[in-house]
Amino acid sequence: MDITTIIGLILGFGGVLLGYHEEGGEFSALVHQASPYLIVFGGGFGAMLVTFPLSELKKAFSSVQLVFTQKKYNEIDIINELADLSEKARKDGLLSLEQDAQSNKNDLIRKGLALVVDGIETEVIKDILARETELHEEIHEAGVKLFEAMGGTWPAMGVCGTVMGMISILRDLSDPLALGPKISSAFIATMLGVGFANLVFIPFAGKIKAKTSRETMINELIIEGLLSIQAGENPRIIKEKLNLNLMEKLNGKKNVTAGAEEGAEA
């Protein structure tokens, strides 16, 4: 589980609600009317159904797990593992990797090793693994687009709810003492829209984007490593090459040494 997501949500909503309470607000005032919730959530989700086809929505919601999960491996571990597999292949042959092709914890490494052991051509392996990576990118990109759209729609629906509340209030001004509570209730819709957009939807899109970028970078290292193993390259050369590629991906082609130190610390 990605504990930063949980802590962030608790701090975000907790800070807003505690600040509201410190200003003298009562929590019961936030939930005594259903209309703001119906307008913001009903209108917001309705807009998403209009905007995205069902197939895209399914892909988008499947990417939500990225927000709450944390993969255990990192780039350096992957590079070291690929170097070890290369060493094993050079000593005992590619067929010695058959067991690793069945038991490796990384899906892409497992699939790639199976193709290498089966003697599939290099270009075919590269194409299959690259398309596998692109498919995951497309799924996660659908999630990013969905949450970014929700981050834009929810505040608008909140304003819509507030305007509708104000229209209802202005139609009957016979009781001045009741205006304050009615106006405050009308602004609950804006609070819901802005709050969920900036505490949930936009941060979710950002986290999915960041994790997808890192996953893609790792997958590119894996593909290059597997192709090097198939080509019978020296394990030390493979490790050095992948480390250089990692440093370039992390920090660009400048300050390579600094990138190596940061990658090792990760």
Tens of pLDDT, residue by residue over 125-167, are 999 999 999 988 988 998 999 999 999 999 999 999 999 988 8
Tens of pLDDT, residue by residue over 44-72, are 999 999 999 988 888 888 788 888 888 77
Tokens of 164: 């509708």
Q: What's the N-to-C CA distance of the chain in angstroms?
A: 18
Phi, psi at 77, each rounded to 5° = -60, -40
Query: By the 8 A CB rule, do 40 and 158 touch?
Result: yes
Q: How far from the centroid of its chain's Cα atoms is residue 129's Cα?
A: 21
Tokens of 111: 């699939």
Average pLDDT on 226-253 reads 86
Q: What sign does the CA torsion over 75, 76, 78, 83 have?
A: positive
pLDDT of residue 61: 80
pTM for this entry: 0.82
Q: Please give the Cα distance from 115 to 49 (Å, whole number).
A: 40
Q: Please give the Cα distance from 264 to 242 (Å, whole number).
A: 13
pLDDT at 255 over 70: no
DSSP, collapsed to helix, strand or coil, labels residue 4 as helix
Query: By the 8 A CB rule, do 67 and 147 touch?
Result: no
Distances (CA, A) of 201 to 123, 137, 149, 172, 187: 40, 19, 9, 36, 20
pLDDT at 227 over 70: yes
Domain ranges of the chain: 33-265
pLDDT at 174 over 70: yes
Query: By the 8 A CB rule, do 146 and 48 touch?
Result: yes
Instruction: Could you list the beta-strand ranges (E) of the chain.
Output: none
| Among the listed residues 175, 156, 237, 186, the one whose alpha carbon sits nearest the alpha carbon of residue 32 | 186
